[in-house]
Amino acid sequence: MDAFYASVEQRDHPELKGKPIAVGGSSKRGVVAAASYEARKYGVRSAMPSVTASRLCPDLIFVKHRFDVYREVSQQIREIFHDYTDLVEPLSLDEAYLDVTQNNYDYPSATIIAYDIRRRIYEETGLTASAGISINKFIAKVASDYNKPNGQKTITPDEVTEFLEKLEIRKFHGIGKVTAEKMYQLGIFKGMDLKQKPLEFLVEHFGKSGAHYYNIVRGIHNSPVKPNRTRKSLGAERTFSENISSELFMKERLEQIAEEIEKRLSKTDIAGKTVTLKIKFRDFKTQTRSKTLNEFIHRKEDILKIAVQLMEQERFRESVRLLGITLSNLDNEKTEEEKQVEVQLGFGF
């Protein structure tokens, strides 16, 4: 995600858009947790003392963190990831690895999947994301730092060697400032310089990490994507450009959301028993209501019926900025005739 915490604050507080903001405390002992791109232009970075940040950017606006909101948005984004593949390895609230060698959609390439995921993140959360696509986690991570914000970069198998040889050492993921300085002293400034050093030389100067550097500059990084959870729910949300008050409009939006969930269920071949309706009001207060059924459902009509019933239990004193539906208590209860044929895709570009 692009400047995740700061972007969430700018989304939820339109008056902050386009302004340099820092998430964190402004006191003398405060530390910047995240900085907007407007603040980064002045050199403000995460983990920087707030006093230093204020000196670099006198107009910097400090915003108190809301980690509960960030976790909520992060979960929403991870649900999008899991619509495409179960092989999702979260690194933090705002970053994850995905293996889409086999995926739940009929897209022929990882590049198209990354674009579609970024599109959906923007449509469903109002936030932008960047992506890197390549043959392994290391190169994909490096590529993700290019074309930010709101962009992506693909390194195809044929491009890996040249890309790594030309890459500046400080841009290699996992090589920090101290290690980079040591490499500079040894005459290593780019990937090509690193590649020319024998394994014994690198191990002598960098210990066990030397073998790692020897491999990654050759594009060798065999660590698989390690998913850490079984899917427990599937949902979709919509944040509206303008708050809505009409229950008729709300029902229309719920129908669109239910239709989206039905499409995703048909791809993942699952059904669920519990429907949860989420409503976020103009003042950002959130209300959720759930209903658990005796049977599994997966059709739009069934999901919508329950969601509308839950909505009609609510007394709307404020206009609504977001609606969401989640289906949980998942299981595979469809008939053989309804099941989708699994398609195995190569990791195309």
Statement to judge: residues 201 and 294 lie in one domain: no
State the Cα–Cα distance between residues 48 and 32, nearest whole angstrom. 5
Q: Is residue 27, in this structure, part of any structural domain at all? A: yes
Statement to judge: residues 55 and 83 lie in one domain: no
Statement to judge: residues 115 and 96 lie in one domain: yes
Lowest mean pLDDT among 61-65, 177-181, 317-321: 317-321
Average pLDDT of the residues in 215-231: 87
Statement to judge: residues 252 and 302 lie in one domain: yes
Statement to judge: residues 280 and 292 lie in one domain: yes
Percent of the chain at pLDDT exceeding 90: 74
Q: Is the pTM of this model over 0.75?
A: no
Q: Is residue 344, in this structure, part of any structural domain at all? A: no
94 among the known binding-site residues? yes
β-strand pairing of 271-281 with 95-98: unpaired
Contact 214, 202 (CB under 8 A): yes
Give 63: exposed, middle or buried? Use CB within 10 Å, 0-12, 13-18, 19+.
buried
Residue 209 pLDDT > 50 = yes
Statement to judge: residues 197 and 276 lie in one domain: no
State the Cα–Cα distance between residues 50 and 94, nearest whole angstrom. 22
Q: Is residue 39, in this structure, part of any structural domain at all? A: yes
CATH assignment at residue 20: 3.40.1170.60
pLDDT confidence of residue 332: 52
CATH assignment at residue 88: 3.30.70.270
Statement to judge: residues 15 and 38 lie in one domain: yes
pLDDT confidence of residue 230: 66
- Per-residue model confidence as pLDDT tens digits over 226-280: 986 667 788 888 888 889 999 999 999 999 999 989 988 887 678 999 999 999 8
- Per-residue model confidence as pLDDT tens digits over 316-331: 888 998 999 999 998 8
**Domain range spanning residue 131?**
68-154
CATH assignment at residue 172: 1.10.150.20
Q: Is residue 138, in this structure, part of any structural domain at all? A: yes
Q: How confident is the model at residue 349 (pLDDT cuts 50, 70, 90)?
A: very low
Q: Is residue 112, in this structure, part of any structural domain at all? A: yes
Count of domains in the chain?
4
- Per-residue model confidence as pLDDT tens digits over 100-121: 998 888 788 999 999 999 999 9
Statement to judge: residues 114 and 174 lie in one domain: no
Q: Which residue, of 134, 154, 174, is where some domain finishes?
A: 154
Q: Is residue 348, in this structure, part of any structural domain at all? A: no
Among candidate residues 95, 165, 247, 259, the one labeled active-site is: 95
Is residue 337 flagged as an active site residue? no
Q: Is residue 164, in this structure, part of any structural domain at all? A: yes
CATH assignment at residue 319: 3.30.1490.100
Statement to judge: residues 89 and 136 lie in one domain: yes
Residue 157 pLDDT > 90 = yes
Statement to judge: residues 106 and 16 lie in one domain: no
Q: Is residue 228, in this structure, part of any structural domain at all? A: no
CA distances from 340 to 270, 280, 326, 335, 347 (A): 10, 34, 22, 10, 21
pLDDT confidence of residue 30: 87
Q: Which residue, of 32, 65, 98, is where some domain finishes?
A: 65
Statement to judge: residues 78 and 51 lie in one domain: no
- Per-residue model confidence as pLDDT tens digits over 184-200: 999 999 999 999 999 99
Contact 16, 63 (CB under 8 A): yes
